[in-house]
Amino acid sequence: MPSPQEKTWRAGRFWWDCPQLGDSGAYPLRAVIFDLDALSDLDLDGHRVVFNAAFAAHGLGIQWSVGRYRQLLALHDERQRVTAELRKRCVGTECDVLTELLADEICATKEQMFDEMILDAGLAPRSGLVDLVMDAFAADIPVGVVSSGRRAWVEPLVRQLVGEGLVERIVTGDDVGDGAEAYRHALWELGVAPHDALGVAGSAAGLRKANAAGLATVLIDPDGVAGGGAAAAAVRADYSGADEALRLATCQRLHAQWWAQHSPSAA
């Protein structure tokens, strides 16, 4: 039986073989590219858990609750979050100096612990995710995943979340830098052009990166705080949906609608 990759090659599904935006009525969906945050709540159920372990390793009685960590996510840098928490518990100039040093040490400890802990953190796929990935696999539409993390833990985590053999390409921080370049690299590896792929992002930052790579993108935002607006093809709490599940047919419709409104011919 041919592998998903071999089927892709045999089908000739490369951007130079695909209809261009100017072709009449042609907005085919030829790939779906997720960022890792769209697969699972990596912040709350991953990074938060490891940070709590790092606090304990330093003898600190700090345990970030889900609610507290959601507040701290307004700060985009992990070190800023740790520093803000430490400063909340310590006031004074001398203490500020010590706080900066301690924040560095905690973040370094967290980085050391993360690779070992993340696969045992009990991360679960977002509701309805596996159904969408199975839809794409059955329709011979390749799936990619991008992450700024290390391949050593990203690959097994993807398999843990969606199963073996369902994701054709995984682009990690070991391959390219963070940002839109990860999506561009995934497009190149999948052999599709940006207008033939749908991005699925799990954060506002992920949405910006996918948009910068030229993808129509769905934002998964369970708490409704990430925004998105006109930058997203749709904003969903999860893949199950109270009214309509985010299955392949819905993705194809959202992708076609986005490009019907944003292609040069629509201007």
pLDDT of residue 38: 96
- How many whole angstroms separate alpha carbon 127 and alpha carbon 99? 39
pLDDT of residue 223: 73
Instruction: Pick the range with the lowest mean pLDDT from 16-30, 92-106, 148-162.
Output: 16-30
Instruction: Pick the range with the lowest mean pLDDT from 21-35, 156-170, 249-263.
Output: 21-35
pLDDT over 60 (residue 23):
no
For 202-245, what is each residue's pLDDT tens digit? 988 899 999 999 999 999 988 766 555 678 999 999 999 777 89
Q: Higher model confidence: residue 94 or residue 51?
A: 51
Q: If DSSP codes are grouped into helix, strand and coil, which group holds residue 170?
A: strand
pTM: 0.83
- How many whole angstroms separate alpha carbon 14 and alpha carbon 62? 51
CA angle 16, 207, 46 (to 5 degrees): 120
* Residues paired with 169 in a beta bridge: 144
Average pLDDT (57-84) is 92
pLDDT of residue 228: 59
pLDDT of residue 15: 40
Instruction: Pick the range with the lowest mean pLDDT from 36-50, 58-72, 128-142, 251-265.
Output: 251-265
pLDDT over 80 (residue 8):
no
**What percentage of the chain has pLDDT greater than the value 90?**
69
pLDDT over 90 (residue 55):
yes
- How many whole angstroms separate alpha carbon 256 and alpha carbon 233? 10
For 130-167, what is each residue's pLDDT tens digit? 999 999 999 999 999 999 999 999 999 999 999 999 99
pLDDT of residue 230: 74
pLDDT of residue 243: 76
- How many whole angstroms separate alpha carbon 169 and alpha carbon 183? 11
Tokens of 181: 């370049």
Query: Are the CB atoms for 219 and 210 separated by under 8 Å?
Result: no
Tokens of 15: 């951007």
